[in-house]
Amino acid sequence: QKEVEQDPGPLSVPEGAIVSLNCTYSNSAFQYFMWYRQYSRKGPELLMYTYSSGNKEDGRFTAQVDKSSKYISLFIRDSQPSDSATYLCAIAGAGNMLTFGGGTRLMVKP
């Protein structure tokens, strides 16, 4: 079993839709959970990070962590074509060593 599992997609939605991206993880010791966005042929960029369980909101993006079920979610409201990218969830181990999921490719169609 991989430490972080993520549905690879692709996920195709119309512009304006609410997008839900999800990951599961296996090691309950992790405390920091991140979402990175990666455009084609670019490096990942940090979207959001959350500590322990709970929600964190930043504009159209909401990150949610449920430690009891080891489930990480990212919601995107009013999705835009510019949101089309691969979304990577990650968990941070000691010293900022990140373990990534495989990424979900999102396509937002105008």
Nearer to other proteins, 18 or 42 (CB): 42
Q: In what order do the strands lie in the sheet with 19-25?
A: 4-6, 19-25, 71-76, 61-66, 54-58
Per CB under 8 A, which of residues 76..105 are in contact with other proteins? Answer: 88, 90-103
CA 89 to the chain's CA centroid: 4
Task: Give the count of residues interacting with other proteins (CB under 8 A).
Answer: 31
Does 74 contact other proteins by CB under 8 A? no
Nearer to other proteins by Cβ, of 17 and 93: the residue is 93
Residue 18 or residue 27: which is nearer to other proteins going by CB? 27
Indicate whether 9 belongs to the interface with other proteins (CB under 8 A): no
Q: Which residues contact 86 (CB under 8 A, 6 or more apart)?
A: 37, 38, 39, 40, 103, 104, 105, 106
Q: Which residues bind other proteins (CB under 8 A)?
A: 4, 6, 8, 31-34, 36, 41-46, 49, 51, 88, 90-103
